[in-house]
Amino acid sequence: MVLQIDKDHQRFRRIVKGKIREDLRKFLTRSELLGREGRKYISIPIRGIEIPHFRYGDNNDSGVGRGDGNAGDAVSGEGGVGPGGDQEGQHVLEVEVGLDELAEILGEELKLPRILPKGKHRITAERDRYSGVRQSGPESLRHFKRTFRRALRRQIMSGLYNPDAPRIIFERRDKMYRSWKTILNPQSNAVIIYMMDVSGSMGDEQKELVRLEAFWIDAWLRKNYHGIESRYIVHDVRAGEVDRETFFRIREDGGTRISSAFRLAKELIAHHYAPSEWNIYLFHFSDGDNSSESDSRECCALMREHLLPLLNLFGYCQVASAYGSGNFINVVHEHLSGIDAVLTSRVNTKDDIYDSIKTFFSAGR
Amino acid sequence: MHTILPQDIVKQAESIADYARREALDFYPTVFEILNSEQMSQVAAYCGFPQRYPHWRFGMEYERLRKQHKYGLGRIYEMVINNNPCYAYLLSDNMPVDHKTVIAHVYAHGDFFKNNIWFSRTNRKMIDEMANHATRIRRYVERYGMDEVEQRLDTFLSLENLIDPHSAFMRREGNSVSTEEKKRRADDEVTRYPAKGYMDRYINPPSRIASDRAAAQAEVAKEKHRFPEKPVRDVLLFLLQNAPLEDWESDLLSLIREEAYYFAPQGQTKIMNEGWASYWHSTIMTNYVLRDDELIDYCEHHAGTLATSPGQLNPYKLGIELLRDIERRWNTGRYGPKYDACDDMAVRREWGKDKAPKGRVVGRGSPGREKIFEVRALYNDVTFLDEFLTPEFVDDQKLYHYRLDPATGKMVVVNRDFDKIKQQLLFMLTNHAQPYIYVMDGNYRNRGELYLTHRHTGADIEIKYAVETLKRLQKVWKRPIHLSARIDDEPILFSFDGEQSTQQHIDDGMEMPAHQF
């Protein structure tokens, strides 16, 4: 039954989305979102949606209660009438929003084009579903109930059926078999490989930026692809693959050799992700402080010759750090300029994430 | 959403109605409908009405209620509409004993709606009226577009609490006295001291008479320019009559005002209404309807309804206890000057014990029962508590007064002082916890600006909301708007001129509005 209120409800949801859009830049930097990647819904506080009235403030800091207690005892229990302590926060409406809805808002607001999956690489999953019956087939698929019913019906019609001594004998023409249909599931598969520099110069603050950026990259790509995979590589002088938890928590010391990560990414792709079947996204986060100029050059060579032909996009995101030269981004610009699949951005503060996402995805790759 | 009520519920409703009538409850015919939780959430979002005008705020409420139900945080047992016939909704997944309790509860609400004086001016065909409102607004949507209409609704709804719930009971002043008439009266009223003829020109010297007369005339002349003539509490009416609104905008505003007046008595009688309904579901269930096997469930749900958490007052609980206390007091004669004069607590406690039948006093025809029927007809929450809250009751119910302890930021029990508790309760209920806002000048500074004042009754208004509300009000009035309010004991003037919001301290240099408190 369609309820009359659905219209009002939809209108309300649209208003909520509008509010989120207004505050998107602020919203992108909310670190509370982290750790909720797995969930389908997140609840978002929406301000200023309710209709204002002239009303008493929350400095009505007294009231009447009921229960035990002597003068001076704290009023126990939540839900007492009274101020919540913080200035705002009290009348903030929490609204549940789906992650894909959020990604859609992000896409609309940043004017991100839909990603066009590599056309010919669209793979198709085949699946058989038993959905019907037919009159021929292997005995293993014989549908007993239907077969029995047909035999019974035939015997009754032809007067062979004796209720006192019921004996049903199948004939060839009674037999029914299950049949299947092959369902073609068009699917576009994508893998995101995140690489992060975890050398001594990457502090907690930098990692936080990386996490936020990664969260939104993930949200947007998930919106565009079904079945997305993520792989995580960390590196200092050597590179290793880690799980997501470790990726964001790990802290190493030591130098930086970015080429190690690129090499590992190359291997990973070679082993698991045939570029004909996968849309591959490679993101690298670093403070741009590579150990040597020659390694930086090697990185670019590796990228140009081996990796770029396989990728949809290589995004390099350089976070500001107190240490180091932050030179890698310049090297990338120098050696890989003019290649569409290479995009770079600098993220110095949380506020830059908005623009960074926009840089990476506005080409719709 | 018409549903067919199961026959057993129809039968139960009939028999409960009989019991209720036997107990002298007097209610409109009542139509019950049974709804599932989704439908209940919709109806509740629409405040019980099957048809409301389109507005997103109902959708917001709906989402909140649905979520609340989904997570088991709250459950709407019952809804009832003040209408003739009364409409009431039952939740389909409730137990049969719940249905019976709710039905009894609903009949008592119906009795209250029908007989309480504060409801006497409400529209008893409100279901139709609401549907008409919905149709009218939908028509405007077709004509002017959803965005336009919604924007007006958002604006007007922001002002919906600026009404005067008492105005329904006030006699409208007839044609106000003309200025000429006032001038003539002013002449007559100039003070003349009694004096013998020959002394008159010394005791009432013509020069003084002349100057007094001039002053009185000046007063009248000044009054002539006062607009409005008196401070106006029904701000919505003032806007309807004086704001530059298109016809359809006035119509929108007038129906929002009408709905606000319809709902006002429910806000004014929350404690009494719920107390009365709880009193009667309890009485009817325990005396007539309850079966042995339903006792536990009934008790659990009844207790749940009346449960209070510390720091919060449950209107059901306060209402039912106070009604029972009144019944008990009138059955034992604990009222009147003799009782009031007695200050021996021991005597008071035993007062009238010999008069009371054994156990709790209940029953038709007892003076207590008659008294509470009178109370339900004549009082609202404020007068109810003002008149019947006693120190003994406060003590019995373990009420306390609490306050924010600035040192710890926690709420602490201050004391159990009767006067303080009563004062606090009355404050919380006055004007059903809405601030008093008056129109003081509709032509402030002779520039057509609107000047409102918050009459301070103990608590400050919330600045953030006031500023936003002023912005909306300005859209209606279209000239600058001012609101004077006391914030932290300082008089502050909030203004909005269509572009800029300002706040300034009110000092003597500023022009005063036509009226002042």
One-character DSSP codes across B285-335: IIIII--GGGHHHHHHHHHHHH---TT---HHHHHHHHHHHHHHHHHTT--
Whether residue B285 is found in the same domain as residue B382: no
Chain B's closest residue to A88, CA to CA, is B464
Give the per-residue pLDDT at B57. Answer: 92
Q: What is the CA radius of gyration of chain B?
A: 28
- Which of B73, B146, B398, B462 is the best residue to mutate to test the A interface, defined by the most A CB atoms within 10 Å of its own CB? B462
- Nearest CB among B317, B421, B472 relative to A64 is that of B421
* Domain membership flag for residue B376: yes
Interchain pair B42, A74: CB under 8 A = no
pLDDT at B389 over 70: yes
Give the per-residue pLDDT at A177. Answer: 94
Question: For residue A324, which amino acid is it?
Answer: G
pLDDT at B320 over 80: yes
Residue B369 tokens read as 């029962």
Interchain pair B42, A1: CB under 8 A = no
* Domain membership flag for residue B461: no
- How many CB atoms are closer than 10 A to CB A307? 21
pLDDT at A37 over 80: no
Residues linked to residue A125 through DSSP beta bridges, in sequence order = A185
Are B495 and B502 in contact by the 8 Å Cβ rule? The answer is yes
The residue among B400, B429, B458 that closes a domain is: B429
Instruction: Read off the pLDDT band of A38 (50, 70, 90).
Output: low
- How many CB atoms are closer than 10 A to CB A72? 10
Residues of A whose CB is below 8 A from B409: 85
Give the per-residue pLDDT at A324. Answer: 64
pLDDT at B365 over 70: yes
Taking residues B134-154, report their average pLDDT.
Answer: 94
- Report how far residue B131's alpha carbon sits from residue B125's, in angstroms, rounded to the nearest whole number: 10
Q: Is B233 on the interface with A (CB under 8 A)?
A: no
C-alpha closest to that of A168 among A178, A160, A177, A176: A160
How high does pLDDT run on average in chain A? 79
Residue B75 is given by DSSP the state -
- Which of B40, B57, B312 is the best residue to mutate to test the A interface, defined by the most A CB atoms within 10 Å of its own CB? B312
Are B410 and A75 in contact by the 8 Å Cβ rule? The answer is yes
Taking residues B150-168, report their average pLDDT.
Answer: 91
* Domain membership flag for residue B186: no
Instruction: Mean pLDDT check: name the lowest of A65-69, A113-117, B246-250.
Output: A113-117
Return all residues near B251 (Cβ < 8 A) that are at least 6 apart. Answer: B136, B140
Give the per-residue pLDDT at A88. Answer: 33
Taking residues B319-344, report their average pLDDT.
Answer: 88
Q: Is B294 on the interface with A (CB under 8 A)?
A: no
Give the per-residue pLDDT at A249. Answer: 76
Residue A234 tokens read as 């960390």
CA of A87 vs chain B CAs: smallest distance (Å): 11
Range of the domain at B45: 7-116+269-292
Q: Contacts by A225-230 with C-beta closer than 8 Å and gap 24+?
A: A225/A115, A225/A117, A225/A188, A225/A189, A225/A190, A225/A279, A226/A187, A226/A188, A226/A189, A227/A187, A227/A189, A227/A190, A228/A189, A228/A190, A228/A191, A228/A192, A229/A189, A229/A190, A229/A191, A229/A192, A230/A191, A230/A192, A230/A193, A230/A194
Taking residues A167-181, report their average pLDDT.
Answer: 89
pLDDT at A91 over 80: no
The residue among B429, B461, B488 that closes a domain is: B429
How high does pLDDT run on average in chain B? 87
Whether residue B356 is found in the same domain as residue B283: no
Residue A230 tokens read as 């993520």
Residues of B whose CB is below 8 A from A92: none
Interchain pair A51, B157: CB under 8 A = yes
Residues of A whose CB is below 8 A from B162: 54
pLDDT at A147 over 90: yes
Q: What are phi and psi of A97, to 5 degrees?
A: -130, 140
Instruction: Mean pLDDT check: name the lowest of A213-227, B77-91, B411-425.
Output: A213-227
Interchain pair B433, A56: CB under 8 A = yes
- Nearest CB among B59, B412, B424 relative to A73 is that of B412
Percentage with pLDDT > 70 across chain B: 94
Q: What are phi and psi of A294, to 5 degrees?
A: -65, -35
Interchain pair B404, A57: CB under 8 A = no
Kindly list the domain boundaries of chain A, sorted by start residue: 1-50+90-109, 125-184, 188-361
Chain A's closest residue to B433, CA to CA, is A56
Q: What is the CA radius of gyration of chain A?
A: 31
Chain B's closest residue to A60, CA to CA, is B459
Higher confidence at residue A257 or residue B21? B21
pLDDT at B170 over 80: no
Phi-psi region of A48 (alpha: psi -120 to 50; beta: other; left: phi over 0): left
Chain B window 136-155: which residues touch A at a Cβ cutoff of 8 Å?
150, 154
Are B380 and B268 in contact by the 8 Å Cβ rule? The answer is yes
Interchain pair B59, A13: CB under 8 A = yes
Taking residues A290-301, report their average pLDDT.
Answer: 83
- How many angstroms separate the Cα of B210 from the Cα of each of B191, B193, B217, B221, B368? 11, 14, 10, 16, 64
One-character DSSP codes across B187-244: HHHS------GGGHHHHS-HHHHHHHHHHHHHHHHHHHT-SSSS-BS-HHHHHHHHS-
* Count: domains in chain B: 2
Higher confidence at residue B507 or residue B320? B320
The yes/no answer to whether this complex scores an ipTM above 0.90 is no
Residues of B whose CB is below 8 A from A80: 309-312, 402, 411
CA of A10 vs chain B CAs: smallest distance (Å): 7
Give the per-residue pLDDT at A83. Answer: 32
- Nearest CB among A4, A73, A83 relative to B413 is that of A73
Instruction: Read off the pLDDT band of A304 (50, 70, 90).
Output: confident
pLDDT tens sequence across B199-242: 888 888 888 888 888 888 777 776 667 788 888 999 999 999 99
Whether residue B358 is found in the same domain as residue B334: yes
Residues linked to residue B405 through DSSP beta bridges, in sequence order = B410
- Report how far residue B241's alpha carbon sits from residue B250's, in angstroms, rounded to the nearest whole number: 9
Return all residues near A362 (Cβ < 8 A) that are at least 6 apart. Answer: A110, A111, A112, A113
Q: Is B60 on the interface with A (CB under 8 A)?
A: yes
Taking residues A80-101, report their average pLDDT.
Answer: 54
CA of B314 vs chain A CAs: smallest distance (Å): 9
Chain B window 77-136: which residues touch A at a Cβ cutoff of 8 Å?
none
Chain B's closest residue to A63, CA to CA, is B402
Residue A142 is given by DSSP the state B
Return all residues near A199 (Cβ < 8 A) that are at least 6 apart. Answer: A236, A237, A252, A253, A254, A255, A256, A287, A289
Percentage with pLDDT > 70 across chain A: 85
Q: Is B417 on the interface with A (CB under 8 A)?
A: no
- Nearest CB among B42, B408, B413 relative to A4 is that of B42
Interchain pair A59, B459: CB under 8 A = yes
Are A319 and A286 in contact by the 8 Å Cβ rule? The answer is yes
Whether residue B317 is found in the same domain as residue B388: yes
* Domain membership flag for residue B493: no
Q: What are phi and psi of B402, to 5 degrees?
A: -120, 165
Strand segments (E) across B42-92: 78-81, 86-91
Q: What are phi and psi of B191, to 5 degrees?
A: -65, 125
Q: Is B74 on the interface with A (CB under 8 A)?
A: no
Handedness of CA B99, B312, B119, B60 (dihedral sign): negative
- Nearest CB among A4, A56, A95 relative to B435 is that of A56
CA of B154 vs chain A CAs: smallest distance (Å): 7
CA of A101 vs chain B CAs: smallest distance (Å): 17
Give the per-residue pLDDT at A21. Answer: 83
Instruction: Read off the pLDDT band of B198 (50, 70, 90).
Output: confident
Residues of B whose CB is below 8 A from A79: 309, 311-312
Higher confidence at residue A58 or residue B495? B495
pLDDT at A163 over 70: yes
Interchain pair B424, A64: CB under 8 A = yes
pLDDT at A264 over 50: yes
Give the per-residue pLDDT at B311. Answer: 67
Helix axes B96-115, B295-306, angle to 10 degrees: 50
Give the per-residue pLDDT at B177. Answer: 61
The CATH number of A188-361 is: 3.40.50.410
Listed ranges A91-105, A351-365, B290-304, B428-442; the one with the highest mean pLDDT: B290-304
Instruction: Mean pLDDT check: name the lowest of A146-160, A244-258, B245-259, B486-500.
Output: A244-258
Instruction: Read off the pLDDT band of A1 (50, 70, 90).
Output: very low
Interchain pair A69, B400: CB under 8 A = yes
Higher confidence at residue A184 or residue A153? A153
Instruction: Report the Cα B143 to chain-centroid distance in Å.
Output: 35
Residues of A whose CB is below 8 A from B46: 5
Whether residue B286 is found in the same domain as residue B365: no
pLDDT at A261 over 50: yes
Listed ranges A351-365, B70-84, B162-176, B273-287; the one with the highest mean pLDDT: B273-287
Interchain pair A51, B463: CB under 8 A = no
pLDDT at B331 over 90: no
pLDDT at B296 over 90: yes
Taking residues A14-41, report their average pLDDT.
Answer: 74
Residue the block writes with tokens 């021996």: B344
The residue among B412, B429, B446 that closes a domain is: B429
Give the per-residue pLDDT at B97. Answer: 92
Give the per-residue pLDDT at A216. Answer: 83
pLDDT tens sequence across B429-446: 877 778 899 999 999 988
CA of A222 vs chain B CAs: smallest distance (Å): 27
pLDDT at A84 over 50: no
Higher confidence at residue A82 or residue A96? A96
Chain B's closest residue to A80, CA to CA, is B311
One-character DSSP codes across A312-323: SEEEEEEEP-SS
Instruction: Read off the pLDDT band of A189 (50, 70, 90).
Output: confident
Interchain pair B465, A74: CB under 8 A = no
Give the per-residue pLDDT at A97. Answer: 81
CA of B104 vs chain A CAs: smallest distance (Å): 27
Are B33 and B90 in contact by the 8 Å Cβ rule? The answer is yes
Residues of A whose CB is below 8 A from B63: 9, 12, 95
